[in-house]
A and B are shown apart, each in its own frame.
Chain A
Amino acid sequence: MNARSRPLRQIPALAASHLCHEWILTLCLVVALAAVISPLLVLLGLKYGTIQTLRERLVEDPVFREIRPTQTREFVPRWFDEVSAWAGVGFLTPTILPLSSVVQVVAREEGKNELFDLVPTAPGDPLLLENGAPVPAEGEVVITSEAARRCRLEAGGAITVRISRSRGGRSEQVEVALKVIAVLDPRAGALPRVYAPLSFVLDVEAYKEGYGAPARGWAGQTPDPYASFDGAVLLLAKPLFPIARTGLIINTGFGRIAEVSGEKIQELFGFLPPPGFAAYDLTAPGGSVTASNLQAVDQKLRGQEKVLLPYAQGIELMIEGEALPPIGLSLDGEQGTLLRVEPPPWGGNRGNLSKNGVLLQMLWPSAKPPAKEDAVAVSFAGMDGALAFNLHLTGSTSLPRPVVPVELLGVLRTATQRKVFFDKEMERFQMARGGFRGFRLYARSIDDVPPLYGKLKAQGVEVTAEVAAIERIRTLDRGLSRLFWLISLLSLFGGTSVLVSSLYAAVERRRRDLGVLRLLGFARWHVFFFPVAQGLIIAALGLVAGFGGYGVLALAINRAFSSQLAPGEAFCFLPASSIPLFSLATILLAALASLVAAWRATCIDPAEVIREQ
C-alpha cells in the first residue's frame, strides 16, 4: 500500500458520489454529450454503411477488379513473373491470340457446331471462383451460362471441342472430349466461353499454328529452330554467264552476288576450291539466308555441276575454355568428289533439322589430337544465355579447324538472334516460346485497380478497367469523410465546451467541499483528479447513452431503407474497429476538457474556503 496514493484511490468514488448527488445536473450533462455523440455516430455509420454497401456491390463482382489489355502485343514470360509479384495483383494468367482461341464445340446429341471462345484459367481465378465454379483441371472445362444455353448443357455434361487448322493447303482437325465441371453465373459474362487450363489452351494455339502436341497425340511440327546463314558460296566447274548470275539474285532472297577469292574460301571452309572452279559469294544484305533461299538457287542451277556452301561468320564454340571458330560443312559423296574434299560422315546439307542427334557431331583436326576420345562439352553464347551441349567426335579431319554440320552452325547463328534452348533429354535444339499475346489480370481489391491501371499504362501497356466506377466511390468516400470531419470538429467544440464549463462550474460550486477534502488530508495533486474523474465518468455515461441513441437511429434508418438493401447490407453501420477508437477519442477529449477545472481545483486554498457558507 502506498500511503501517498491511498487518497487517490478514494477520488473516483468521491467524484461518482458527487455526480450522483447532483444527479439532475449530471443527467443533463450526459444527455448533452449524448446529443453530440449520437448524431456523430449516425453520420459515421452512414458514411461507412453507404460506402461499404456500394463497395461491396463492386467488390463482389470480380469484373470490377479486372484489368484487360486493349491491344494485342507480345508479353514475354518474364513480364508475367514481374507483374504477378506486384502488390495488389490477385490473379494473372497469359492468354492467346483472339483468333486462335475460337474453337468449335460439338454438343453431345445434336451434332450442331457452335463457335466458342476458349479462355485460359488457372488456380485462383476469381472470375470462376466468385461465380460459383471450381477451377478446371486437365480434361475439364467450365463454361459460361450462354455457352450452356446454346449447347443445352449442364454441369457434369461432356462437350467435344474440335480444333481445326489448315496446313500446307490441307484442312486438319483434332477433337477432344472434355468434361464440363461447372456453369458460371450469368454475371460472369454474356459471351459463350469455355474456360480451360492454360496448358490446354496453349496446345490449341500451337496446333492452330501448325505445331503438334505429342502428349495429346496431335500431329504437327515441332518448334525446331531454323538454320540461318550470313551467305553462301557457290562453287561451279564453269563460270556463269552474266545473265545467269543476275538471275540468281532475282526471287531467291539473295541480294548480292560477287566473285570470291580462293583465300576467302580457304578462310571460311579450310580448303581451296579445285583449280578452274568459279566461286561466287551470295549474300542477303541486312537479312539472313535460310534454307528456302538456298533451295531457290539450287532450283535455278538445276543440271549444272555445282556446290552451294552456306556459311555463318563469327560463330565461336567454347570448348574446354578455348574459343574455337568451327567450320560448318555438310557434303555428300558426290559433292566431296567434285571438290576433292573428304565428305563428313553426316553427308550433305538437307536443309531440315529433323535428323536427331546428327546435328551434334564434330570432326577434330588430325593435326591437333583432341583431349577426349568420344565427346566434347560445348558452350555457346546465345541471345538468351549460354547453350550447353555435347558434340560427339565421330572422326578426324584434315582441315585445320574442327568441322561441324553446317546445319548446326546455322542453328547457332539463329540462336544469336532468337531464343533457342537445348533440350538435354531429347538432345535437340528448340525455339523457346516467344511470349504470350495477352493476359487476364484481376486486382486483389478494387482499391488496387487504379494503381495497377496506372502502373501498366506507365509501362506502355494499353489497358482498360472499371476505374471510373471505383473512382466515383472513392470520391464519394473522400467527400463524406471530409464532411464527417467538419461536423466532428464542430461537435467537438460544442461537446468540449459543455464539459469544460460544467466541470469548471462544479469546482467553483464545490470550492468548500474541495477545501474540506484538503483538510481531511488530500494533497493538492489528489484534488486535481477530482474533476478529471468526473469528466471521465460523464464521458463514459455520455458514450453509453450516445451509442444507445445511435443504435436506435441506425435501426430506424436501416428499416427505412430496407427495400433497397440486399440481406446483410446496411445503410448505417459502424465497423467494430471504429467503436473503441471513437470511445478512446471521446475519453481523451473529456480528460483534456477537465484539465481547466482540475487546475482550478488545485488552486483552492482550504483556509480561504472552509468557512464559506
Chain B
Amino acid sequence: MTQGKKENSFNADVEGRGLLGGRGRLFLIAVVLLLAVAYLIYAAFPGSTSYYFTVDELEANSEEVDGKTVRVKGKLVPESFAREDGGTMATFTLHAGEEMLPASYDGVVPDLFFNEHSEIILQGSYLEGQPFHAETVSVLCPSKYQALEELEASA
C-alpha cells in the first residue's frame, strides 16, 4: 500500500505524452542544447587556438593583424628596458629568435618581468611599423620549479 504510493510520488512525471510532452520535449531540448554548444565551440575555436602570436609570427602576419587587438609573446632583450625620468612610461624590446619588437607600457610591470627564464605576453592594438603599445603585460612563467637554496649554492 505504502509502497505503491511511494512509487507514485517518485515517478510522478507521466511518460510519453506525444512529441512535445515528456520525453519528446526533453529530447528536443537536448538536441537544441547540443547544437548550440557545438556551434559555440565551432565559432570560438579558430580565434582562441592562438592565445598569442610569437614576435616572428606577428611580423609574418603583420598585414592581417594591423589595427587589431592582439597578444604577442617574446623574450625581453637584455638591457633594453628603460623608463622615462619621473614617469611610468616604459620602453623595451621583445624578441623571438632574430625578430625584434620594440614596445612600450605605461604602468607597473610584474615581478618576474626581468627573470631570464620568463617570456612576456603583451596585449594591445598592433599598428604596423610602430612600437607596440601594450595595454596589459603578463609573464609566462616556465613550469620549472627549482629550489632557491640549491640555485644559490651552485651560483
Task: Please say whether chains A and B are actual partners in one complex.
Answer: no
